[in-house]
């Protein structure tokens, strides 16, 4: 056991391993019908359900469940209120990803992975004056869209954006995006 502990301590890609493990765990949890039913039942909790739906709305593995919760709530709650409350929940989810990207050990692991995949050429492109301003813009467009936010948050995380700016931008973009998705669904349904 001591040997395993020492090996894990020296292992240089712990955060990436944790991230992959969390994706696998989420995948297997969402394959479980009882867990899916539990999440869908959250829609009956009103504003708390909207907050949790917002948290789930930002991830690749939970976007469908989050959307279903929010659409279920759209039948009883005002879309603007849902957008604002779910926007706060989405900020919570996005901020978790943003902080993970910003941790020193995670960024070190990503740099190592980045260098293995032709980092010098990619680094030159990313640090060019035309590309560096576009990272936050592309990230903002992804966050505002119904697409999962991980890539957009990652782009903003590797840029020089400050946390308070990120929180405000994430709240505005997610609230608008959620409101538009709910409004469009209400028109279609």
Q: What is the DSSP string of the chain?
A: -HHHHHHHHH-S-HHHHHHHHHHHHHHHHHH-HHHHHHHHHGGGGTHHHHHHHHHHHTSTTTHHHHHHHHHHHTTTS-HHHHHHHHHHHHHHHHHHHHHHHHSHHHHHHHHHHHHHTTHHHHHHHHTSHHHHTHHHHHHHHHHHSSS-SHHHHHHHHHTT--HHHHHHHHHHHHHHHHHHHHHHHHHH-
**Per-residue confidence (pLDDT) for residue 63, from 0 to 100:** 78
pLDDT tens per residue, range 58-105 = 887 777 778 888 888 888 889 999 999 999 999 999 898 888 776 655
Whole-number average pLDDT of the chain: 77
Q: Select, from the ranges 25-29, 31-35, 39-43, the one with the highest average predicted confidence (pLDDT).
A: 31-35
Check: pTM over 0.75? Answer yes or no: no
pLDDT tens per residue, range 103-145 = 655 556 556 666 666 656 656 666 666 666 677 788 888 888 7
């Amino acid at each position: 056991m001591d040997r395993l502990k020492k090996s894990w301590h020296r292992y240089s890609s712990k955060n990436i391993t944790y991230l992959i493990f969390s994706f696998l765990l989420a995948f297997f949890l969402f394959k479980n019908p009882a867990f899916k039913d539990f999440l869908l039942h959250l829609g009956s909790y009103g504003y708390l359900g909207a907050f949790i739906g917002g948290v789930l709305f930002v991830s690749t593995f939970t976007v469908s469940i989050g959307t279903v919760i929010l659409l279920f709530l759209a039948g009883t709650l005002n879309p603007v209120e849902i957008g604002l409350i779910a926007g706060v929940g989405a900020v919570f989810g996005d901020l978790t990803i943003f902080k993970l990207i910003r941790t020193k050990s995670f960024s070190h692991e990503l740099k190592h992975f980045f260098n293995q995949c032709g980092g010098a050429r990619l680094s030159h492109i990313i640090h060019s004056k035309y590309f560096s301003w576009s990272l936050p813009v592309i990230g903002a467009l992804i966050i505002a869209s119904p697409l999962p936010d991980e890539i957009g948050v990652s782009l903003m995380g590797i840029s020089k954006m400050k946390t308070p700016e990120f929180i405000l931008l994430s709240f505005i973009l997610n609230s608008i995006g959620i409101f538009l998705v709910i409004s469009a669904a209400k028109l279609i349904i």
